[in-house]
A and B are shown apart, each in its own frame.
Chain A
Amino acid sequence: MIEQENYMPEKFRIGHPAIDVQHEVLFVFYHELMLSLQNADDSYHLSDIFLGLGSYVLNHFKFEEDAMLATHYEQSAAHCEEHHLLKEKVAEFHNRFVSVKNMKEEHAIAQEIAVFLANWLEHHIAEVDKQLAHHLNQWQ
């Protein structure tokens, strides 16, 4: 599995190798977002972090949704609805992000994204994805 640095607290590990790795990457994005908000001198551009995060979230959701479909997961509809809500939120943040007029606005939106992401990771991984991992591990 992944060696060395790991920004994902152990309580978020749900016991499915692929989903755990993908969640670790989401936590890396959160870490990069925080570095950028702190104006660390080697931080990435907020736009790259935001667009990269959005792109990877969609990739991760597709992985989970394909797995749910392939294993006839009973909670699939509710789970996908949570994904749908996050996709809408990402799209909303994206629209606001691309129309910012200055660094201050960009910074404010990035802070909102960080708070939203932290809350979402806490709820979705620790509760909803844990149930999915249990189902997928039983299916194998």
Chain B
Amino acid sequence: MALKISKDGDTVTIMFPEIFGFSLRREFKEATSSHRPGIRYQLDLRTVTKIDSSALGMLLLFREGAGGESADISFIGVRPEVRRLLQLANFQNLFKFS
């Protein structure tokens, strides 16, 4: 499994590999398909150096499935080059950056 998932109380942390793209689609979808109200998600991107538009779509679909505007999803450990891409996509209005 490329994704590393851990739980601590109501917080679920998902750690991504170096490349976050279409190859992770099925695994990411399965990992995020069951949502419960009140769950806080932390997406740990500290090792991610490459991210593609499929990944951006996956993140938005995940957000929608997790409750849309009420979803509690934060990015942590975002490298500058990945942060720049997320900001170009205007994700700062949709996700939290820690």
Contacts and interface: CB of A to CB of B under 8 A. Distances in A.
Interface string A93-137: 000000000000000000000000000000000000000000000
Question: What band does the interface of chain A fall in when counting residues whose beta carbon is under 8 Å from B?
Answer: 20 to 34
Interface in B35-79: 50-54, 56-57, 60-61, 63-65, 68-69
Contacts of A4: 19, 21-22, 50, 52, 54
A18 B56 contact: no
A44 B61 contact: yes
A75 interface: no
Q: Chain B interface: which size bin? A: 20 to 34
A62 B25 CA distance: 28
Contacts of A48: 61, 64-65
Interface string A1-21: 111111110000000011001
Interface of B: 19, 21-22, 25-26, 29, 50-54, 56-57, 60-61, 63-65, 68-69, 85, 88-90, 93-94
